[in-house]
Amino acid sequence: MDEEYDVIVLGTGLTECILSGLLSVEGKKVLHMDRNDYYGGESASLNLTQLYRKFRPTQSPPTELGRDRDYAVDLVPKFIIASGELTKILVHTDVTRYLEFKQIAGSFVYRDGKISKVPSTEMEAVRSPLMGLFEKRRAKKFFEFLQGWKDDDPTTHQGINLDKDSMKVVYEKFGLEPGTQDFIGHAMALYLDDDYITKVARPTYDRIILYTSSMARYGKSPYIYPLYGLGELPQSFARLSAIYGGTYMLDKQIDAIVTDDEGKFVGVTSGGETVKAKQVIGDPSYFGAGTDGGKVRVVEEGKVVRAICFLKHPIPGTEDSDSCQIIIPQNQVNRRHDIYIAMVSSTHNVCAKDIYVAIVSTIVETDRPEQEIAPGLSLLGPIYDKFVDITPLYTPTSSGENDNIFITRSYDATSHFETVVEDVQDVWKRVVGSDLVLKKREVEVQG
């Protein structure tokens, strides 16, 4: 450990592993450490033993759940948007060779006490029970408008300026009902609250187009998911990093972040030794989050409550889907933020046969978080077992440009990885000093 590195990366969550992989490919000398003896940090997928160690240290997993090694339970419920930014990184770095993906079978939205499929095509919209006859016609016009929009062709604009008019103006132009706005804004544009309505329409337009193009890609839902759980994603980027010379050390306690008199980063102390590097990147837990020791370099922005539920049946009303997302828009349950349900099963090699793993989550608004997800839990049917976690969301207090300490953000309450990629791009820009440009790796000739 007496070598000097360009970058030390702390924590093997997805954000850190993508950065580590990309930096190694770029030729940086990277040392990547994690205090856990497994990959993934806050975005890991755990087997039963690890899950119980985390949530119920005094209990061992019931034998009824089956073999330990069949489980890969995600800590963070997220899916990959098929045409989204993470997919681009996966393809461009070629880590797809280490992974296999399956579709998520369905995307549903809660309205007036029951759940329905989110319509994504004209055909589905016409058949959807979410809208009455006249509303369907209005919605059809709305979607035709979005699909037909061309920036350089004013005849497609119908008097709307996406960069000036608010989404409210667009909804009103097509006369869409509040319930329809709910599923468009929350189940398609995937906003967590209603703040977007009064803002300029362009980002919402982009999000709806992303949703519909992702939907069109594989058919059943806009989402894909890696076999063996989300924890495969950080592992694959860690392998990329290692292949390009990155050094990996798991099970390493980090004792201190060492800085000089001016507060600039010098190195990391672990097991009594200090390893030096020019820069350090790490997740909030290595920079004072939730601890008493050391300098605190992050601030809590809010909390997310997540309940990991084991079921012995698919979620009622989802056409027995082996996997799905259900969105409960905030208006439907008188909240400020949506409740999400993400479910996967043995089809994705994440649990034993005939077990279904559903995670219900939302942003905490009160001092009784578990009660806030009750509307979601009640949709699941009988719950075999439940692990509730209330996680603070941390964000760095400084950009790192002055001290060479670059801290990533916690995994937020969104149902996908788009904000994770935004964080990767943001940290990259701060660390490297220029925008992240993905270059295709050379294709080697195969024998």
Q: What is the binding site for other proteins (CB under 8 A)? A: 37-39, 82-83, 87-88, 90-92, 94, 96-98, 100-103, 213, 217-218, 224, 227-228, 232, 235-236, 238-239, 242-245, 247-252, 437-438, 441, 444, 446-447
Nearest to 177 by CA among 143, 205, 144, 135: 135
Cβ-based nearer residue to other proteins, 195 or 251: 251
Cβ-based nearer residue to other proteins, 243 or 374: 243
Bridge partners, 327 (sequence order): 109, 340
Q: Write out the DSSP string of 86-153.
A: HHHHHHHHTGGGG--EEE--EEEEEETTEEEEPP-SHHHHHH-TTS-HHHHHHHHHHHHHHHH--TT-
Bridge partners, 109 (sequence order): 116, 327
Question: What angle (nearest 5°) sits at the alpha carbon of residue 87, between those of residues 83 and 88?
Answer: 95
DSSP summary character for residue 68: G
Cβ-based nearer residue to other proteins, 34 or 182: 34
Cβ-based nearer residue to other proteins, 242 or 333: 242
In whole angstroms, the minimum distance from the beta carbon of 49 to other proteins comes to 13
Nearest to 10 by CA among 401, 427, 426: 427
In whole angstroms, the minimum distance from the beta carbon of 240 to other proteins comes to 9
In whole angstroms, the minimum distance from the beta carbon of 417 to other proteins comes to 14
In whole angstroms, the minimum distance from the beta carbon of 153 to other proteins comes to 18
Cβ-based nearer residue to other proteins, 21 or 284: 21
Q: In angstroms, rounded to a whole number, what is the distance separating the alpha carbons of residues 411 and 43? A: 8
Q: In angstroms, rounded to a whole number, what is the distance separating the alpha carbons of residues 282 and 277? A: 13
In whole angstroms, the minimum distance from the beta carbon of 218 to other proteins comes to 6
CA 50, 9, 85, 394: dihedral to nearest 10 degrees?
70
Cβ-based nearer residue to other proteins, 93 or 181: 93
In whole angstroms, the minimum distance from the beta carbon of 234 to other proteins comes to 9
In whole angstroms, the minimum distance from the beta carbon of 231 to other proteins comes to 8
Token code pair at residue 434 = 């220029």
DSSP summary character for residue 323: S
Cβ-based nearer residue to other proteins, 244 or 340: 244
Q: Which whole-number Å values give the CA distances from 407 to 281, 304, 391, 399, 417, in the listed order?
A: 6, 19, 17, 8, 18
